[in-house]
Amino acid sequence: MKKLINVIRVILSVSVLMWLTACGHGDDVADVDGQAISKAEFEAYLKFKRIDGKVENVSKAALDSYVEKKALVAAILDEDKLDKTAIAVELDDFKAQMLLSRYFETYLNESVTDTAIENFYRDNAARWTKKKVKIAHVLVRTRSDMKENELQAKLTQAREAYSQLQAGKTFEDVAKRYSEDDLTARNGGDLGWIGEGAVDQAFSTKAFEMKQGDVSEPFKTHYGFHIIKVMEGPATVTDSLDSVKGDIRYELRSAAKDAELKRLLANVSVERY
C-alpha cells in the first residue's frame, strides 16, 4: 500500500517538480520513494524515446509516464514475488547485447567511412577488374544418363540450328526456335556479360577465344550442346565503385569488428573454473 501511495504522490507532484526545476531548484525532476530522477536522466529518456522535450505538455506527459513506470517497478520489487536472480541475469544479458550493439554501431561508423571504402577500392583495383564477354547462346540440353543414340539425336538438333545460322537466319530467331534454355531463349539467347571462368570451363574457354561477331560450331559441355555468339568483347571491365561499395563496406566492417573484439577481450582477464 505504501508503494501505491507513493505512485499517486509522485504523479501528483510532477508539475510542481518541473516548475521547481525550471526555477533553479537543483537538477532533479522527480523523486520515486527516495530515489531522485535527475534532469540528465530524464533528458536521456526523452532522447531514447525520440520525444520532443521542448513542448511542455508533451514533456510533462512523458515525465508522468516515466515516473509512474519507475514507481511501479519499485512497488513490484518490494512485493518479493519474482525471482530476482533470474531477472538480474536477464537484465544483464539485455544490457550486454545493447552495449555491444551500440558500441560497434558507433565504432564501425567511425572506422569504416566512405573515404576508407574509396581507398580500399583504389588500392585493390585488380579485384574489381575482370575480363568479360557478352554472349548469346543456343543450348540443346543433354543428361548424363543419355544413351549414345540419344546424344547423337541432340547433336543433330544442334547442327540443324547451326545450319540455319549458316543459311542467314538471325541468331535471335534461331535461339528462340531451337534453344532449350528457357530463361534466355525468349531474349534471343542473350546471356549478358560473363566473367572469365565464371561458367563451365569449356564454355568460358570457347567464349574468350572468339572475337566480336564470331559464331561457334556446336560444342559440348555438361549442360549439353552449345552454339555461342560473341555480342561484345572480350573486354577488360572494371566494376564501378558504386556497384561494389556495399560489398567493400561489409568486408571492412567485418574485419574491423573482428579486430576490435580481439583488442577488447585482450584487455580483460578471464578465468573459467
Residues 127-150: tens digit of each pLDDT = 999 899 999 999 999 999 999 999
Per-residue pLDDT tens over the stretch 153-169: 999 999 999 999 999 99
Under DSSP, the state recorded for 127 is G
* CA-based max dimension of the chain: 99
Q: Distance between CA 55 and CA 42 in Å, rounded?
A: 14
Would you say residue 13 has pLDDT above 70? Answer: no
Q: What is the mean pLDDT of the chain?
A: 89
Q: How far is CA 22 from CA 44, 99, 145, in A?
A: 18, 33, 86
Q: Distance between CA 196 and CA 233 in Å, rounded?
A: 12
pLDDT at 26: 67
Reported confidence tier of residue 19, pLDDT bands at 50, 70, 90: very low
Residue 117, class by beta-carbon neighbours within 10 Å (0-12 exposed, 13-18 middle, 19+ buried)?
buried
Q: Distance between CA 179 and CA 188 in Å, rounded?
A: 9
Percentage above 70 pLDDT, the chain: 90
Options 3.40.50.970, 3.30.830.10, 1.10.10.10, 3.10.50.40; CATH for 126-238 is: 3.10.50.40
Contact 193, 130 (CB under 8 A): no
Per-residue pLDDT tens over the stretch 69-122: 999 998 998 888 989 899 999 999 999 999 999 999 999 999 999 999 999 999
The pTM score is: 0.60
pLDDT at 33: 87
Reported confidence tier of residue 20, pLDDT bands at 50, 70, 90: very low
Reported confidence tier of residue 258, pLDDT bands at 50, 70, 90: very high
Four-CA torsion 77, 78, 79, 85, nearest 10 degrees: 40
Average the pLDDT over 233-248 and give the result. Answer: 92
From 195, 203, 193, 197, select the one nearest 231 (Cα to Cα): 193
Per-residue pLDDT tens over the stretch 186-218: 999 999 999 888 888 899 999 999 999 999 999
Q: Delimit the domains of the chain by residue range.
A: 2-83, 126-238
Under DSSP, the state recorded for 217 is P
pLDDT at 45: 92
Q: Distance between CA 62 and CA 67 in Å, rounded?
A: 9
> How many Å from the N-terminal Cα to the C-terminal Cα in the chain?
45
**Per the structure block, which three cell numbers stand in for 4?**
501505491
pLDDT at 249: 98
Contacts 24+ apart (CB under 8 A), 123-129: 125/238, 128/238, 128/239, 128/244, 129/236, 129/237, 129/238, 129/239
**Per the structure block, which three cell numbers stand in for 71?**
514507481
